[in-house]
């Protein structure tokens, strides 16, 4: 793909990169929201130069000696220049301090193995220790198959960390982007105190193909899309990408106040 | 059997044993282990999911809440039980019963045996992911002892959703995995038929999980497996439950939930 004229993966239209940037990486022709690298997302949401990264040196191992996993990891690290599928740290959004986690589509489709679970848990524990709200921008195919049961247990670990936050009256805001499926949806994604989704994002537990195979029929139009989840009461709002920073800023502002603070 | 012979047992053979249709189900175990059992029904929100059963009774002289996935033994029963694959209301029923257990100071015993959470339209509409996530969230701080036992298939999120515990055991011919061997094979090799290789790669047997420090112990099955002798399998489970409960009942609640947090906090393998 040309770096100067990237193509919309949906309608194939080429866009001049600076126009695309200006449009928050939304295709002006078909409205498709391009999947964003974690670093681009950080720039889009956080105040200038406010992001400080956590845990840059933690690395996945291959505890199961799973076929081709090492190669996949090496390739992802090289391509993304990230240590894993989530980038975490502290930042300010519209002046309000917060911790932030952003998942990256290029790193084994944002899947959660031991390191993603650990980085998310540390992020939440840092928020707890420093009385900060947490924001997580989610993009994930689910628990990472290549780390087997260890990946599954990250769902329990991260969910327990969210519980501790909430028990101490600290909020988590989750932003579900395309796609948010499997074990990540069924843990911290759906545990946001406010849950936001980007337009038309695929959000679900089971993948659409698995459901089709199981029930042996075609799925209805719009099934498992953000607007469908909003309609079924699973989300608080669907927010356009260009409004996201401002909505998060307002959420942080409201939650920074506690007029009735007896606990 | 010598050590090398044990090593030769293939993962796929254990998968087959774990799915054996003659294995005892949750209600079978309850029949052998729990006195004065009263089954309780419904999530008070939508319906009564028959893929998960739960109720109250006595383990020896200890009042307990027991919950488990329920498979059928034939096609008719399995259709009624949805093959042990729960919808959101199943997980919500389980949580309701667990919160009742906490309220009345009863320990919780969970039997895990499911191919996974049901992948269906209604399940997604009613928030399958939310139901599972919320159980993980709430169970992490329930102020009463929880023991979970994998008695067959520990199928991914659908198993995890009722298995958060202070102690986790697996019967010796059972599995617990992030994905089914068939699902894994179709992703990896575009061929669900290569399930035996996938089963090997996933490291999903009781021994594997003990090695990775995910479970606290393995309960040996009699003879060639639990399907051959329900009663003595149940006896083995009962004695494990009683000795574990006697230990857990002495721990005060804040320590108990702190230890539970640390138990899951430690799970994962990485370098830095």
> For A220-245, how does the pLDDT look when each residue is reduced to its tens digit (9 = 90+)?
999 999 999 999 999 999 999 999 99
How far is Cα of residue A34 from the mean position of the Cα atoms in its chain?
Answer: 14
Taking an 8 Å cut-off on Cβ atoms, the answer to whether A234 and B130 are in contact is yes
The span from the CA of A6 to the CA of A20, in Å, is: 9
What are the structural domain ranges in chain A? Answer: 1-34, 36-255
First-to-last alpha carbon distance for chain B, in angstroms, is 41
> For A18-52, how does the pLDDT look when each residue is reduced to its tens digit (9 = 90+)?
999 999 999 999 999 999 999 999 999 999 999 99
- In 3D, which of B154, B200, B211, B150 has the Cα closest to residue B177? B154
How far is Cα of residue B224 from the mean position of the Cα atoms in its chain?
Answer: 21
From the list A114, A185, A220, which residue is nearest B268 (CB)? Answer: A114
From the list B117, B179, B204, which residue is nearest A205 (CB)? Answer: B117
How far is Cα of residue A6 from the mean position of the Cα atoms in its chain?
Answer: 23
B chain contacts of residue A227, beta-carbon cutoff 8 Å = none
Given this model, what pLDDT does residue B5 score? 53
Taking an 8 Å cut-off on Cβ atoms, the answer to whether A190 and B202 are in contact is no
* ipTM over cut 0.95: yes
Under a CB-based contact definition with an 8 Å cutoff, are residues A175 and A198 in contact?
Answer: yes
Task: List the Cα angle A60/A63/A64 in 5-degree steps.
Answer: 125
B132-to-A250, A262, B118, B213 alpha-carbon distances in Å: 29, 32, 12, 23
Under a CB-based contact definition with an 8 Å cutoff, are residues A71 and A167 in contact?
Answer: no
Given this model, what pLDDT does residue B4 score? 52
Mutant choice from B85, B86, B129, B253 vs A, greatest count of A C-beta within 10 A: B129
Taking an 8 Å cut-off on Cβ atoms, the answer to whether A191 and B141 are in contact is no
Given this model, what pLDDT does residue B188 score? 82
Give how far B61 is from chain A: nearest CA, Å.
32
From the list B129, B134, B178, which residue is nearest A205 (CB)? Answer: B129
The span from the CA of B59 to the CA of B261, in Å, is: 26
A244: number of CA atoms within 13 Å, CB side? 26
The span from the CA of A195 to the CA of B148, in Å, is: 31
Given this model, what pLDDT does residue A3 score? 81
- The neighbour count for residue A162, using CB atoms within 10 Å, is 27
Q: How many CB pairs under 8 A join A and B?
A: 181
User: Hey, what are B39's tokens?
Assistant: 């089954």
Which parts of chain A register pLDDT below 50? 1
pLDDT by position in tens, chain B (length 272): 445 555 578 999 999 999 999 999 999 999 999 999 999 999 999 999 999 999 999 999 999 999 999 999 999 999 999 999 999 999 999 999 999 999 999 999 999 999 999 999 999 999 999 999 999 999 999 999 999 999 999 999 999 999 999 999 999 999 999 999 999 998 888 888 899 999 999 999 999 999 999 999 999 999 999 999 999 999 999 999 999 999 999 999 999 999 999 999 999 999 99
Given this model, what pLDDT does residue B8 score? 72
A chain contacts of residue B271, beta-carbon cutoff 8 Å = 58-59, 61
- In 3D, which of A231, A209, A214 has the Cα closest to residue A222? A231
- In 3D, which of B216, B80, B233, B90 has the Cα closest to residue B151? B233
Cβ burial B224-255 (10 Å sphere, 16+ → b, else e): ebbbebbeebbebbbebbeebbeebeeeeeee
Taking an 8 Å cut-off on Cβ atoms, the answer to whether B156 and A205 are in contact is no
Q: What is the architecture, at CATH level 2, of domain B14-265?
A: Alpha-Beta Complex (3.90)
B chain contacts of residue A206, beta-carbon cutoff 8 Å = 117, 119-120, 123-124, 128
B chain contacts of residue A160, beta-carbon cutoff 8 Å = 136-137, 140-141, 260-261, 264-265
The H or E element spanning position A248 is helix A241-255
Beta bridge partners of B63: B58
The span from the CA of B184 to the CA of B186, in Å, is: 6
Taking an 8 Å cut-off on Cβ atoms, the answer to whether A187 and B136 are in contact is yes
From the list B123, B187, B209, which residue is nearest A149 (CB)? Answer: B209
What region, left, alpha or beta, does residue A161 occupy, with left being phi > 0 and alpha being psi -120 to 50 degrees? alpha
- In 3D, which of A257, A246, A239, A254 has the Cα closest to residue A195? A239
A chain contacts of residue B212, beta-carbon cutoff 8 Å = 63, 149-150
A chain contacts of residue B268, beta-carbon cutoff 8 Å = 114-115, 117-118, 150, 153-154, 157
B chain contacts of residue A218, beta-carbon cutoff 8 Å = none
User: Does residue B140 sit in helix, strand or coil?
Assistant: coil
User: Does residue A30 sit in helix, strand or coil?
Assistant: coil
- In 3D, which of A13, A33, A35 has the Cα closest to residue A23? A33
**A26: which DSSP letter?**
B
Mutant choice from B124, B162, B183 vs A, greatest count of A C-beta within 10 A: B124
B chain contacts of residue A118, beta-carbon cutoff 8 Å = 268, 270
- In 3D, which of A118, A168, A111, A156 has the Cα closest to residue A138? A111
Give how far B146 is from chain A: nearest CA, Å.
15
From the list A60, A160, A185, which residue is nearest B129 (CB)? Answer: A185
First-to-last alpha carbon distance for chain A, in angstroms, is 54
Q: What's the full length of chain A, in residues?
A: 263
Task: List the Cα angle B170/B51/B167 in 5-degree steps.
Answer: 25
Sign of CA dihedral B125, B128, B129, B130: positive
User: Hey, what are B119's tokens?
Assistant: 């992948």
On whether the A36-255 domain is CATH 3.90.226.10, my answer is yes
């Amino acid at each position: 793909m040309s770096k100067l004229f990237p193509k919309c993966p949906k309608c194939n239209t080429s866009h001049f990169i600076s126009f695309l940037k200006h449009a928050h990486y939304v295709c002006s022709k078909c409205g498709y929201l391009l999947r964003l690298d974690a670093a681009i997302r950080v720039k889009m949401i956080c105040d200038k130069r406010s992001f400080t990264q956590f845990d840059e040196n933690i690395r996945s191992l291959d505890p199961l000696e799973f076929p081709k996993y090492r190669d996949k990891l090496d390739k992802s690290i090289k391509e993304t220049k990230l240590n894993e599928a989530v980038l975490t740290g502290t930042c300010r959004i519209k002046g309000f301090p917060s911790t932030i986690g952003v998942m990256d589509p290029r790193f084994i489709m944002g899947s959660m193995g031991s390191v993603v679970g650990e980085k998310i848990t540390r992020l939440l524990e840092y928020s707890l220790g420093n009385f900060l709200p947490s924001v997580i921008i989610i993009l994930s195919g689910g628990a990472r198959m290549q780390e087997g049961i260890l990946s599954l247990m990250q769902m329990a670990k991260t969910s327990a960390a969210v519980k501790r936050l909430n028990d101490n009256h600290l909020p988590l805001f989750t932003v579900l982007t395309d796609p948010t499926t499997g074990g990540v949806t069924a843990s911290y994604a759906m545990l946001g105190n406010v849950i936001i989704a980007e337009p038309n994002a695929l959000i679900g537990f089971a993948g659409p193909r698995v459901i089709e195979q199981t029930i042996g029929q075609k799925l209805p139009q719009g099934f498992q899309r953000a607007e469908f989840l909003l309609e079924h009461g699973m989300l608080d709002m669907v927010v356009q990408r260009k409004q996201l920073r401002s909505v998060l800023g307002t959420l942080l502002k409201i939650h920074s106040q506690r007029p009735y603070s007896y606990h | 059997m010598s050590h090398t012979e044990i090593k030769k047992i293939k993962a796929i053979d254990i998968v087959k044993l774990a799915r054996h249709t003659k294995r005892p189900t949750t209600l079978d175990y309850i029949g052998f282990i729990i006195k004065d059992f009263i089954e309780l029904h419904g999530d008070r929100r939508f319906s009564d999911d028959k893929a998960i059963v739960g109720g109250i009774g006595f383990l020896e002289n200890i009042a307990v809440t027991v919950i488990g996935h329920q498979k059928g033994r034939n096609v008719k029963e399995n259709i009624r039980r949805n093959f042990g694959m729960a919808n959101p209301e199943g997980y919500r029923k389980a949580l309701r019963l667990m919160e009742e257990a906490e309220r009345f100071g009863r320990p919780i015993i969970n039997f895990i045996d499911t191919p996974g959470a049901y992948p269906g339209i209604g399940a997604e509409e009613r928030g399958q992911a939310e139901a599972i996530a919320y159980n993980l969230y709430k169970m992490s701080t329930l102020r009463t002892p929880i023991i979970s036992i994998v008695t067959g298939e520990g199928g991914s999120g659908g198993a995890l959703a009722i298995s958060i515990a202070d102690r986790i055991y697996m019967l010796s011919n059972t599995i617990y995995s992030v994905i089914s061997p068939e699902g894994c094979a179709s992703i990896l090799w575009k061929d669900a038929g290569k399930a035996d290789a996938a089963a090997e790669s996933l490291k999903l047997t009781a021994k594997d999980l003990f090695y990775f420090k995910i479970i606290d112990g393995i309960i040996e099955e009699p003879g060639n497996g639990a399907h051959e002798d329900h009663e003595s399998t149940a006896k083995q489970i009962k004695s494990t439950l009683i000795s574990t409960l006697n230990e857990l009942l002495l721990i005060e609640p804040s320590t108990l939930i702190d230890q539970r947090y640390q138990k899951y906090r430690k799970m994962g393998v990485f370098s830095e």
